[in-house]
Amino acid sequence: MRDNQDTLLHKGRRNLLVQQLRESGRFEERVLKAIGAVPRHLFVEEGLEDFAYKDTPVAIGASQTISQPSTVALETQLLNFKPGARILEIGTGCGYQSAVLFYLGAEVFSIERQAELFPRAISNLEAAGYLFLDEELAVQTSTNVNSGKFHLYLGDGFLGLPAEAPFDGIVVTCGAPHIPQKLLEQLKVGARMVIPVDFEKEAQGREKKQMLKVITRVSEGRYQAEDIGVASFVPMLEGINGK
Ligand code: SAH
């Protein structure tokens, strides 16, 4: 069993990471503050804690990786939401980005397709002190957890959450083969979706790359897209795995 402490050593390492991100000049202070606050070492796989505060992706099980902190910071910043915003995240993974969104005041709706990771994200968020399942209002089933500002689902992110739409922002944390129509429909007018979209077919020995895009719904029927830069994410896949 891992002990869920956030020691001075963890905090020191986290501060160094924040300093490194700050020096890149790409991030707003409020986003850096969130990265400085959320104990990332409690979200990575046991034994990999030493890698938690390097700016690299880290394995989280089920052949998935948690995005590197600078990518989480960038996607979060690009969402540009205010406290109280209802944000849909596709790809809960280990729950780290959910915690960052929560720290910045979002009500978090998050979908994960890997049955193995879904309970792990829940226990990570509990261990880090963000999610409370013993509250009277908490609802927990094998495919859905609702507690306070967290609404976590085992499901297919291509479908979004029509029952909870529209959202003040949508962040996709896996590389999408195309921009899912259902997600576009679930954006509020004026809101943004941050999504990495494949632009290169898988070539031998070469990872697929994505263009990170910001899609703004400018009116009921009109969307505007902006390309931010090249990124590399694990693939967005259809259906639920392992159920
Ligand atoms: N935001 C996560 C990043 C995890 S990596 C974090 O902070 O840890 C991306 C995740 O997207 C993986 O866990 C993968 O299983 C998940 N994923 C891929 N396709 C998906 C889909 N269609 N719906 C929901 N999750 C998906």
Residues paired with residue 216 on neighbouring β-strands, in sequence order:
192, 224
Look up the domain containing 85 and give its range.
67-231
Residue at 40 is within a domain: no
Q: Give the tokens for residue 156.
A: 């297919």
Residue at 171 is within a domain: yes
Tokens 């540009």 sit on residue: 80
Residue at 160 is within a domain: yes
Q: Give the tokens for residue 146.
A: 């609702």
Whole-prediction pTM: 0.95
Residue at 176 is within a domain: yes
- Residue 142 burial by Cβ neighbours in a 10 Å radius (0-12, 13-18, 19+): exposed
Q: What is the CATH number of the domain that holds 209?
A: 3.40.50.150
CA separation (Å) from 25 to 21, 74, 143, 214?
A: 7, 12, 40, 20
Q: Which position among 67, 98, 110, 147 bears the catalytic label?
A: 67
**Angle, CA of 10, 14 and 20, to the nearest 5°:** 150
Residue at 33 is within a domain: no
Mutation to probe ligand 1, out of 237, 238, 240, 241 (largest number of atoms < 8 A from CB): 237
pLDDT in tens, the chain (243 residues): 677 899 999 999 999 999 999 999 999 999 999 999 999 999 998 889 889 999 999 988 888 888 999 999 999 999 999 999 999 999 999 999 999 999 999 999 999 999 999 999 999 999 999 999 887 777 888 899 999 999 999 999 999 999 999 999 999 999 999 999 999 999 999 999 999 999 866 555 566 799 999 999 999 999 999 999 999 999 999 999 975
Ligand 1 centre from 78 Cα, in Å?
18
Contact yes or no for 121/81 (Cβ under 8 A): no
Amino acid at site 107: E
Residue at 239 is within a domain: no
232 is catalytic: no
Residue at 221 is within a domain: yes
Q: Give the tokens for residue 148.
A: 């306070």
pLDDT on residue 53: 96
Q: Give the chain's domain count.
A: 1
Residue at 59 is within a domain: no
